[in-house]
Every structure is written in C-alpha cells, then in structure tokens.
Amino acid sequence: MSDAVAPAGYDPSAYPPFAVTSDIVVLTIRGGELSVLLVERGNEPYAGCWALPGGFVDIDEPGEETARRELVEETGLEISSFHLEQLRTYSAPQRDPRMRVVSTAYLAFLPDLPAPVAGDDAARARFFAVRDIEAGEVTLAFDHDQILADAVERARSKIEYTTLAAAFVEKPFTLGDLRRVYECVWGTRLHPSNFARKVLSTPGFVRSLDVRGASQFEGGRVGALYETGDATVLHPAILRPTADEEDER
C-alpha cells in the first residue's frame, strides 16, 4: 500500500507474478458430526487429493465473491444466502509448488443440506467429518490441513460469543437441535437444562414460535420450536467446558 519503492512503475507485467485465490471452508453438521466440504483435485499438483473448494480471483472481483462463485461452480450447491466471513490469508512462499499463490480463506456455516453435492468443475465433492481429518485419516492438498484447523478453531471459538450456532440449523428448530450444534462443534456434552436456561435468558438469541413440533433429530419428547432471533453477540458468552474430560456420544 505504501508508495515506497514500488517494484516497477505502473507496468503490470513487471510486477512480481503473484496469483491471488480464494478458498472456502464450508462447515455443516451431518449425522451428528461437524463436517467440511472437500473437492477432489483433477490436476497436478496433488491430483487425486482432497482439497478445499477455491479458485482464482478475477481482476475486478471481490475475493468474497470468488468464494461464493467457486462454491456454486464446484459443488452445484445453490444456496440463497449463508453466513460467510473471512478467515485469514495464507501466503507462505512455497505453499504452492507452481508459483507464489496468496490465498484468502473464507469460512461458511450451513445447515445440513439434503441436496446431494454434485461436482461440476471438480471431479467430485463431498462432506467429510472433521473428526476423521483431525485424526489423520485424510490428508489435504497444499496447506489446507492448516486452513481447516484454523477454520475449526474459529468456529469453536465463535459460537461461544455469537449466535452463529443458529446458522447450522434450519428455521424451525428445537433447543435440543441447537444444543447438538454446540456438542458437535465442541465435541462435548452440555447439560440440556442449563443450556436451555442460558439460551432463553439471552435476549434475541432465539424467538419462540409457540408451537411444539418434531425435532430435526430422533426420538424422545418433542420440544418447542424456535427461530433465529435478532441478536448477533452473546454477552456473557457460552464458554466451552474446560478441557478436563471430553467424552463423546
């Protein structure tokens, strides 16, 4: 941004050849597991490997728009609107063996999509459980393991102090559905009663629909239905249980 020693006047071809890309980390809850959308690479390098969806930023296109566009192009997903935020930018000189690629990663939260994810550009696209990737069962192309780790940490942290957990569930949801989001993202169990008390005492977190209906989940008594409220931040936050013991379902 400074005017100090520009590499070379205004001749574009004389600038260092940077490629600028956007990658997108799409997180959702599928089958009780925090999951991420990956595409299979068709070309070298890392051909056949799984990677985050992404692509080159057009010269007159905002990076965020690139992320939205690539998500549709590579996966066929057509979602009207969803939460998308910038995660961070990865620019280590050797992160792509071909050339210097500066990539800005974006993070999206989606409710579970019944729509089958169909590849378009990319060979294949599907959701993977984050747990399996963290366990090393799948290794991602480039530095995408790191990007995913940063994204998951951002998600785990962000649902603490914002109402973004609601972005993982579809409109009519029960408090149990919402609680399961926290449990899946954090990998812990929460006390149902205390959770409900907390959510309901936070103005604007959820709005009651004054109806009872089937949960998005299985068995048990059906709970009251809610929709997302106006609030965006939680004050005070819902803190993750301190990592003493974290047992799973």
Partner DNA sequence: GGCATGATGCTCAATGTGAGTATGAAGGAG
Partner DNA sequence: CTCCTTCATACTCACATTGAGCATCATGCC
Residue numbers of the site for DNA (CB under 7 A)?
174-177, 179, 191-194, 196-198, 201, 212, 215, 217-224, 236-239, 241
User: What is the rounded distance in angstroms from the CA atom of residue 198 to the CA atom of residue 119?
Assistant: 41
Shortest Å distance, C-beta 62 to DNA: 37
Would you count residue 68 as binding a second copy (CB under 8 A)? Answer: no
Q: Are 141 and 46 in contact (CB under 8 A)?
A: yes
SS3 247: coil
SS3 179: helix
Beta bridge partners of 227: 207
Q: Are 12 and 107 in contact (CB under 8 A)?
A: no
Shortest Å distance, C-beta 114 to DNA: 20
C-beta closer to a second copy: residue 101 or 159: 101
Q: Give the Å distances, CA to CA, from 35 to 14, 21, 178, 180.
A: 43, 23, 16, 14
**Beta strand 223-228 pairing with 206-213:** antiparallel
Half-sphere exposure of 237 (CA within 13 A, CB side): 13
79, 209, 224, 237: which one contacts a second copy (CB under 8 A)?
237
Would you count residue 93 as binding a second copy (CB under 8 A)? Answer: yes
Shortest Å distance, C-beta 142 to DNA: 38
C-beta closer to a second copy: residue 61 or 132: 61
User: Using CB distances below 5 to 8 A depending on partner kind, what does residue 35 bind out of DNA, a second copy, none?
Assistant: none
C-beta closer to DNA: residue 66 or 174: 174
Would you count residue 69 as binding a second copy (CB under 8 A)? Answer: no
Shortest Å distance, C-beta 51 to a second copy: 7
Would you count residue 104 as binding a second copy (CB under 8 A)? Answer: yes
Q: Name the E strands within 156-229.
A: 206-213, 223-228
32, 48, 61, 171: which one contacts a second copy (CB under 8 A)?
61
DSSP code, position 168: G
C-beta closer to a second copy: residue 43 or 193: 43
* Residue located via tokens 């649902």: 159
Shortest Å distance, C-beta 199 to DNA: 10
53, 111, 176, 187: which one contacts a second copy (CB under 8 A)?
53
C-beta closer to a second copy: residue 100 or 126: 100
Please count the other Cβ atoms lying within 10 Å of the Cβ belonging to residue 203. Answer: 9
